[in-house]
Amino acid sequence: MADKIAPHKKAVRVKKKPLVAMFGPDLGLKGGISFVVLEYLKAGLHRKMPFIFIPTTTEGSRIKNALFFLKCIIITLRTMMRSRVDICHLHVSHYGSFYRKWVIFRIAKIFRCKVMVHIHGSNFERFMTENSFNRWMTRTVFNRADRVIVLSDEWKAGIEKFADKSHVVKLFNPAPRPRWVDVDHTRSALNILFLGRLSTRKGVYDLLECIGARRAFYEELGVRFTIAGDGDVDAVRAIVNRDGLNAIVNVPGWISGKVKERYLSNADIYVLPSYHEQLPMSILEAMAYGLPIVSTWVAGIPELVEDGVNGHLVDPGDIDGLGNALRTLVMSKEKRLSMGRESRQRVAGIFDAEKMITRELTALYERL
């Protein structure tokens, strides 16, 4: 009796996941790009597909950074020659960040890699248009990139003027998952928190003017402000001392890790009266902790904060409007709680890092 022959099965080809090389600042550096990449890693991007991260800059002097970038180029060339890198994901801001990524962009094209250019930096538009050399470089990159990632609808409309519309995609920054630390349930003070670079651009001097003009109101109701971040720390402390605000304003400088988590855990309101932004990570953090937001009608902020729903928005530089928005929330615990719940729900539904990576980022990679 003849042996039974197994029926022929057509071979099924399994599509190999692309190897992604991501480029950005050293993950120990302060700033939004490092924060975004860390959230990608915490959410497991490196476990969902082949992944390499290559830092292009670090903390230190210009000479140290020049040597660091030279090392980055060597690592990039060695990686390209030894591995089949399919996609280079470049996190780009303005000036030095862009110039460094320009070099990586050229190397990637020589090795025929797909390139995704991910734009960060509130001053990128000014950088892009301030001289003919920058205009030429940015337009060349946008036109030759396989995808250009932007953080807001406003930026999408702007970049589409210089690039193939089908190549420009919006991808929100991911929100961190909150970790409540040392919550003080016995406190009587109402805490208002600012996190970010202490600078004119972030509106920190407008906030100080607003506090000074309403000092008696805040003192009477036990309101306390924490203005935390790097930048003009000494200048901000000097204004606090000059205007006699020490009793209601704390300026701890840069905070991170558990210290930052403690401040977020014990905050009641988050304020960021910025003049220029893209999609502030600090607002996403505050929303994840269930805080109502007071901010401005700038760039991607209205896509995070719906005025009257999970916070209040004012025009940049409108100090009276800023004061009125803060007063409304200070005077109504019900509004603070309801807007805070809305903030948390928005983060869970739209900005959750794990969902974003699974639903959007890996899909972008696999479609290239």
* Residue 299 phi, psi dihedral angles, 5° rounding: 45, -120
- Two domains, one topology: 20-174+352-367 and 190-351: yes
Separation between Cα atoms, residue 113 and residue 76, nearest integer Å: 12
pLDDT at 182: 66
Range 160-168 average pLDDT: 86
Element at 170 (helix H, strand E): strand 168-170
What's the pLDDT tens digit per position in 139-155? 999 999 999 999 888 88
Q: Burial level of 302, CB count in 10 A (0-12/13-18/19+)? A: middle
What's the pLDDT tens digit per position in 187-223? 778 999 999 999 999 999 999 999 999 999 999 999 9
Is 290 within 8 Å of 340 (Cβ atoms)?
Answer: yes
Locate the domains of the chain by residue range.
20-174+352-367, 190-351
Is 343 within 8 Å of 33 (Cβ atoms)?
Answer: no
Q: Burial level of 151, CB count in 10 A (0-12/13-18/19+)? A: buried
Length of the chain measured in residues: 368
CATH architecture of the domain formed by 20-174+352-367: 3-Layer(aba) Sandwich (3.40)
pLDDT at 15: 58
* Residue 195 phi, psi dihedral angles, 5° rounding: -130, 130
The residue with greater pLDDT, 334 or 179, is 334
- Angle between helix axes 204-213 and 319-331 (nearest 10 degrees) is 60
Separation between Cα atoms, residue 354 and residue 231, nearest integer Å: 32
Query: How much is the pTM?
Result: 0.84
Separation between Cα atoms, residue 160 and residue 19, nearest integer Å: 28
Q: Out of 3.40.50.2000, 3.40.1110.10, 3.50.50.60, 3.30.830.10, select the CATH number for domain 190-351.
A: 3.40.50.2000
What is the share, in percent, of the chain residues with pLDDT greater than 90?
67
